[in-house]
Homo-oligomer: A and B are copies of this chain.
């Protein structure tokens, strides 16, 4: 099934203790769509770039079943640019530059084919832009997921809560879950967030894995699933890992069409596996050369990681 992806397409300059990558391809929609493209087809991107974006990159995406009809190209303007430097622990980073460029006045326009999307992934963006996308859908999707970040909690909380109320699944990291709710306990935070609208909540904990929460309608019982992260020999570049996780998860869901709790758990493992590949090389490099056997072998490793005989 088709997956609609909204988010940034960008240039990133990344410094980690392992090296530096200068003006490489990045952005949430890039990571999400590449990860999802291994599982479902088409993946439809809504985003904006300048005239500085390499045509061969766009051509590569089309060969992967990624539909770029909703990708606006602004002549005479520059693509979004972000640069950051990771600390030695790779868990924290400083943002060095954020040049919004074409993103500053981005107004998403959904082509006709996009308006009946069954699966929608709203990457981290201004809540108003996420809302504009939802407003253009002509029928209710089977699943709307969204990602967001602390910046919008501080600067656009009202608009953010309006979008959250309209989605089925929210992904945030542990600190964002705490900030959004004022609850330190992730179980309490999850309970609050699930009362804001979403049916599912995924709390991303980076190298510690991810938690899936679901509350049944008309029940107080909270279902919890813990998807571990794979302990890796080396992490070269964590950029995009959370988006890759979301892309793998949504791509698997759009492919399988099963939104039950058991299948959501599987989707988290697919997302975790894709994220574990993402961090093995700089930028999107590792997401460009995977094959199905490698992905299935990694999924098997994830299941073995927590498996006990008998």
> In whole angstroms, how far apart are the Cα atoms of A217 and B226 in the complex?
32
| Smallest CB gap from A227: residue in B | B306
Kindly provide the distance from the CB of A134 to the nearest chain B CB, expressed in whole angstroms: 30
When A262-B308, A305-B224 are in contact, do A208 and B211 touch as well, CB less than 8 Å?
A: no
**Chain B residues in 8 Å Cβ range of A29:** none
> In whole angstroms, how far apart are the Cα atoms of A88 and B205 in the complex?
19
Q: Is the CB of B269 within 8 A of A231?
A: no
**Chain B residues in 8 Å Cβ range of A262:** 308-310
**Chain B residues in 8 Å Cβ range of A53:** none
User: Which of B187, B232, B310 touches A231 (beta carbons < 8 Å)?
Assistant: B187
Interface centre among A228, A233, A269, A310, by most chain B C-beta atoms within 10 angstroms, is A228
Contact pattern, A 167-208, Cβ under 8 Å of B = 1, otherwise 0: 000000000000000001111101000000000000001001
Q: Is the CB of A306 within 8 A of B187?
A: no
**Chain B residues in 8 Å Cβ range of A65:** none
| Smallest CB gap from A223: residue in B | B304
**Chain B residues in 8 Å Cβ range of A186:** 231
Q: State whether the Cβ of A89 lies closer than 8 Å to any Cβ in chain B.
A: yes
Q: State whether the Cβ of A265 lies closer than 8 Å to any Cβ in chain B.
A: yes
Interface residues of A (CB under 8 A from B): 88-90, 184-188, 190, 205, 208-209, 211, 224-228, 231-235, 262, 265-266, 269, 303, 305-306, 308-310
